[in-house]
Amino acid sequence: MLMSKRYLWLILSITAFFVAALAPSSFAQGVRLEGIVKDASQAVIPGVTVTATNEGTNISTTSVSNDSGYYVFVTLVPGTYTLTSELQGFKRYVNKGIVLQVGASVTINIVLETGEINNEVVVSAAAP
> Residue ranges per domain, the chain?
30-124
Q: How confident is the model at residue 15 (pLDDT cuts 50, 70, 90)?
A: low
Which homologous superfamily does the CATH classification assign to the domain defined by 30-124? Immunoglobulins (2.60.40.10)
**Structure confidence at residue 29 (pLDDT):** 62
Averaged pLDDT for residues 21-46: 78
> What would the DSSP string read from start to end of 3-59?
HHHHHHHHHHHHHHHHHHHHHHHHHHT-EEEEEEEEETTS-B--S-EEEEEETTT--
Q: What's the CA gap between 76 and 55, in Å, rounded?
A: 12
**Structure confidence at residue 30 (pLDDT):** 76
